[in-house]
Amino acid sequence: MPHQSVLITGGAAGIGRATAARFIADGWQVGAIDRDQTQLDALRNEFGDGNVWTHCADVCDPEAVGAAIEAFMGVTGGRLDVVVNNAGLVAAGAFEAGDIARYRAVVDVNVTGLVTVARAAFPYLAATPGARLINMSSASAAYGTPGYAVYSATKHAVSAFTEALDAEWHRHGIRVRAVWPLFVQTAMVTEIGPQRTIDRMGVRLRPDDVAGAIARASGAPHWWPQLHWTVGWQGFFFVNLTRFCPTWINRLAMRWIAGY
């Protein structure tokens, strides 16, 4: 039986790299797309050409994404069991103080890029029995998060996209799932600098924790109904609390956590 194959966007560092390492350890054929060639080279040097295929591409470029997926299919013989839509950007701080160019980039990568990858991967997922699309959401999709307004909005979009596409693609035998971590020990969190939300909530997750959730979502039985996969007890508690609390309590709690 051919090796199962997984294609990971933003696969060269952070959560993407940990996910690649997890699937390599499990014996999968792994492909990693990223726009950072230096980090892709480091990934390939660490794990070897025989274990990971890499391609430099911007997920917001439909032609580049299509070419990357087609090239990976040449390696796998057309088999695509899982796509992990992990590439993402963040913007933090008071909305009115932010840079509109950065906000546009966050929306482009987190939403447009995710949609672009899903669309390009569809024919290969549909041709592979039991295929999965795993989208990277966030605990900030549970309730709009002050200080992360644009980022939070993109993750709400990812949540809705996941729900709609899972219903649509059921007829093609493709399951669509979303993974919802809180803050993770990655360069993305480090680069945004001090934030009261991070001080209040802490950074309790490692990339390996998220990679484990992605692996579980990828490997769950096809009939398993769970669409949204939280990561860690803190994320589980936070997401479910916002679902059951009245809106006014959620609003006050988020203002307190974020300091607004």
List b or e across 92-118, with b for residues whose CB sees 16 or more CB atoms inside 10 angstroms: beeeeeeeeeebeebbbbbbbbbbbbb
Question: Encoding tokens for residue 85?
Answer: 């839509």
Cα–Cα dist 255/260, whole Å: 5
C-alpha angle 181-122-33 in degrees, rounded to nearest 5: 55
Quick one: DSSP state of residue 117? H
Q: Is 143 a catalytic residue?
A: no
- Cβ distance 76 to 128 under 8 Å? no
Choose the catalytic residue: 103, 124, 148, 151.
151
- Catalytic amino acids? 151
